[in-house]
Amino acid sequence: MNPLDTPLGFCSNFLFVPGTRPERFAKALDSGANGVILDLEDAVAQEDKESARNAIRTAWPAFSADQKKRLVIRTNSPGSQFYSADLILAQELQVGCLLIPKSESVDQINGAALVLENTAIIPMIETAVGLDRLREIANANQVLRLALGNLDLQADLGMVCDPQETELQTARYQIVLASRLAHIAPPIDGVTPSTDDLERTTDDAERAKRMGFGGKLCIHPKQVPIVQAAFMPTEEEIHWAKRVIEADQASKGGAVKLDGKMIDRPVVILAKRTLAIAGKH
């Protein structure tokens, strides 16, 4: 089985759920979220790590096959005392996708891939070291896509960002570029920490789409439909894409104008991508 053969490569929104809250697992899956991340890291206190693993272990058999395809487990960081037990759990449950926080080297990712040969991996970039080694991490074994840990990265770099996180624009660009060069799925943007400021969530999601991200992390169910809508092509965009493809086919790949503008290969590729995204949501 190819570990990268998973619908999570096309997901535009991922909703975090604390591993210690099993009563929320089903609710998260029913929230409309494309992907649900069962969190063993930040949302779980140190003294509760084992109980969180046990909660996931107990709940796992009740998930349907389709639900399991949408589930991701976020481990603790590779340098922590909890990481090995998290990998053992993932191996035991045959988890389809693992989110590894504070990823900082190709060896960390390849090591996890060696243990979990049928598991797709999403390295989370949230430290200066991880950002510096971005391209080697993106090219590690079984990497499905990258994710940005925007809050941790700010803290590690000593940044004090404005509400738009303007200071992280360069980091975001680097993550998108590294993903494209590695031929992996477009990356997942970080969280919007305010669950009440839905306008901020909308702005953040629209910025992520414009920059080339393929999805965004959510920390509350009410953020899910906002992110979904931001990444979903509009009817106007879909109509435009179909007209581009039709014009390209009619010209058999030759030069052609549409609405007074030349249609070349990059435009056709963008149109095909728009239709592919629309078909996956």
Helix (H/G/I), strand (E/B), else coil: 38:
strand
Predicted pLDDT at 5: 85
Q: What is the pTM of this model?
A: 0.90
List, in order, residues 6 or more apart from 199 with CB less than 8 Å away: none
pLDDT along the chain (281 residues), means of 10: 85 96 97 97 96 98 97 97 98 97 98 96 98 98 98 97 95 97 96 95 96 96 96 84 86 76 76 75 49
| Alpha-carbon span 111 to 127, nearest angstrom | 19
Buried b (16+ CB within 10 A) or exposed e, 58-84: ebbeebeeeeeebbbbbbbbbebebbe
Whole-Å CA distances, 144 to 8, 10, 123, 205: 8, 10, 9, 21
Model pLDDT, residue 137: 98
First to last CA, the chain: 24
Q: What is the pLDDT of residue 1?
A: 64
